[in-house]
Amino acid sequence: MTSTCTHLDQIAPARPETVGECPECVATGGTWVHLRACLECGHVGCCDSSPATHATAHFRATGHPVMRSVEPGEHWGWCFVDGVTIPGRQMP
């Protein structure tokens, strides 16, 4: 594991596909705690504190390594591969 994200070149200007909800949780009647958006494709999923952990499931299914918080006032990301937080100033 590194101390920096080595996948910043994979960040695309993808907008979150939804605002304020985890589409997979909505579809199954589930609940979520916080939301994260994939910085490669814009997929929105719930965080690991949520019962279904859809953001991590998206990473495992697609290999898209970097996501960001889409919670109001939060400006950070996470690289699943390198296991590091990415400060908001390094993200688009």
Asked if residues 10 and 66 have their Cβ atoms less than 8 Å apart, the reply is: yes
Q: Where do we find the tokens 């993200």?
A: 91
The CATH number of residue 85's host domain is 3.30.40.10
For position 3, what pLDDT does the model report?
A: 81
How many domains does the chain contain in total?
1
In a domain, residue 71? The reply is: yes
Kindly report the pTM of this predicted structure: 0.90
* Alpha-carbon gap, residue 18 to 26, rounded angstroms: 11
* Alpha-carbon gap, residue 21 to 87, rounded angstroms: 23
Range of the domain at 69: 8-90
Neighbours of 77 (CB within 10 A): 23
In a domain, residue 80? The reply is: yes
In a domain, residue 43? The reply is: yes
In a domain, residue 73? The reply is: yes
Q: pLDDT tens across 2-49, in order?
A: 688 999 888 887 889 998 999 999 999 999 999 999 999 999 999 999
